[in-house]
Amino acid sequence: MDIDIILEADVGPQQFAELAVKAESLGVRAIWSSNYHQNYDAFLVMAPAALATSKIKLAALAVSPWEMHPLKMANALLTLNEISNGRAAVALSGGGGVLGACGWKINSQQKEPWPLKDLSLIHI
């Protein structure tokens, strides 16, 4: 069955594992951990599920290079992939909540989509 489930970021490791076991028993292809800056780590939350399941893919959604260095993303993915015997995945994204939490905004006049720090927030 080509169905994936995306869970909210406030689902803890134990509950994530329980839901992954149930989803796997129903033939779901993958279960995704949403990544938000104010919740559980998207990779670590899946570790118990990796140990409790054997077929379902485990994936982090959407990890931003603005909050996590690409090398650390690769390390986290490698570790989860090892624990899960090759079932880890990640979806990368460059914006959204993380940019807002950092006080960054996209300058729509710029050709490149690089965020600019709002200098009005800085008081010297």
pLDDT tens, per residue, the chain with 124 residues: 699 999 998 999 999 999 999 999 999 999 999 988 788 999 999 999 999 999 999 999 988 887 888 999 999 999 999 999 999 999 988 655 666 666 666 566 655 555 544 444 443 3
Q: Which 3-state string (H, E, C) describes 60-119?
A: EEEECCCCCCHHHHHHHHHHHHHHCCCCEEEEECCCCHHHHHCCEEECCCCCCCCEEECH
Total Cβ atoms within 10 A of residue 73: 19
pTM: 0.78
Q: Tell me how far apart the alpha carbons of residues 28 and 5 are, in angstroms, rounded to a whole number.
A: 8
Give the per-residue pLDDT at 109: 63
Q: Tell me how far apart the alpha carbons of residues 123 and 28 are, in angstroms, rounded to a whole number.
A: 51
Q: Tell me how far apart the alpha carbons of residues 5 and 29 are, in angstroms, rounded to a whole number.
A: 8
Tell the residue number behind the tokens 């460059």, with chain if given. 94
Q: Tell me how far apart the alpha carbons of residues 71 and 82 are, in angstroms, rounded to a whole number.
A: 16
Triad 92, 36, 84: Cα angle to 5°: 60
- The greatest distance separating any two alpha carbons of the chain, rounded to the nearest whole angstrom, comes to 58
Give the per-residue pLDDT at 121: 44
